[in-house]
Amino acid sequence: GRCDIVFLPPCFPIVAMENPCLTFIIASIMESSEFLLIDVIHEIAHGWFGNAVTNATWEEMWLSEGLATYAQRRITTEAYGEAFTCLETVVRLDALHRQLRVLGDNSPVSKLQVKFDPGVNPSTLMNLFTYEKGFCFVSYLSELSGDCRHFDHFLRDYILEFKFKSVVAQDLIDYFLRYFPELQDAAVTQREGLEFERWLSGCGPPPFEPDLSAGATLIGPVQDLCKLWGSSAPPDRQAVTPFDLSTWSTFQVVLFLDRMLDHSPLSHEVMGSLSGSYSSLFDGLNAEVQIRWLQLVVRNTFYPDLPRIRSFLHKHTSRMYTVPLYEDLVAGVMKCIAVEIFYQTQQRLHPNLRRTLQQILFPSSSVTANQNSPAPPTVAHPLPSSSPTPAATATASAAGTTA
């Protein structure tokens, strides 16, 4: 069959969206061949998991996203190697645990079966747990089957059994146990600490994560470089010379920057050395790399790289590349800069994104009071056309602001 791709303008609020035989992707993702690859494969996987077989309720979105993520990683393992897939998975699972640290292990949104009670915002159900905890559960089922290729056959037969139907988690589990009757005889659903009920209804991290040691050749250098930069003083230049980031994959650079964000706050001296060593390189890389570097800049109040933030937010107007930066700007001491950039770019933003940013910037504003209103209006600029920017001589203590 035929599968086409439509590249959408930068203001499209969603990075990628599956449609039967037609995938929507924002054009800015083309800057990263690796992220483009992952997004296209993931959306194609939704042709089976999500479109051919659909979750019956919004409360079990993992039946779509978790299975599609598992299928995506099976495809990349076969096509690009296990190390590549392990690296990408580490990046995503890191993000999952990072979100857990913010929300807490008892957060109800960390369940695979989130109860859609009155007052629950449906958008909260589209989170990393839906994707990554769902992926871990499917990976656990594959582990129980004893052979990932045998499990591939199970997934194909699952699609044939339920195609063009809506399912709940129990449908998948019942079919799995019928397909592998020896597992039902072994009462795998009740294994201590790994009970299926705990997977579905329990809060917190996944009870099981797949073995990712095959990615050590790609992940190891990132961990070593993070150790060098994670101290209070910049590392010796000779120590970092062997690490040539220009030869690294996008996911390696992203993992490095994510881990440095975890190390924040960093001293002003370390930020200056990082900028001198890598910021020009990051300028030539894709938006996935740039936004992480700019988050480091904001969270550590590193004013010398402030022009890069302005340039980035004027160029990128999708939700994924704007909301995290605006949240960090508002959480720190740079809210005035965020407000100024918003007023300069608001007419190029999608109405839903404009509303979200107004909520971040002006939480008590009457403009955002009505969530069911149509497109929010643009707002007159309350600042001078060239509002003053903070001094570029930030002290080391000022660089310690975190989100």
Q: Mind telling me the catalytic residues? A: 43, 131
Q: For residues 137 and 67, is the Cβ–Cβ distance under 8 A? A: no
- Give residues with Cβ within 8 angstroms of 77, minimum separation 6: 84, 85
46 marked among binding-site residues: yes
Pick from 342, 364, 361, 353: which is nearest to 319 by CA? 353
> Which DSSP symbol is given to 49?
B
Whether residue 42 is annotated as binding a ligand: the answer is yes
- Single out the residue of 137, 139, 135, 141 nearest to residue 183, CA to CA: 141
Residue 246 burial by CB count (10 A; 0-12/13-18/19+): exposed, middle or buried? Answer: exposed
Rounded distance, CA 221 to CA 224, Å? 5
Residue 281: what residue type?
A: L
Contact, 322 vs 316, CB < 8 A?
Answer: yes
Instruction: List the Cα angle 114/115/117 in 5-degree steps.
Output: 135
Q: Name residue, tokens 């589990």.
A: 173
Q: Residues forming the annotated binding site?
A: 42, 46, 65
Q: Residues forming the annotated binding site for Zn(2+)?
A: 42, 46, 65
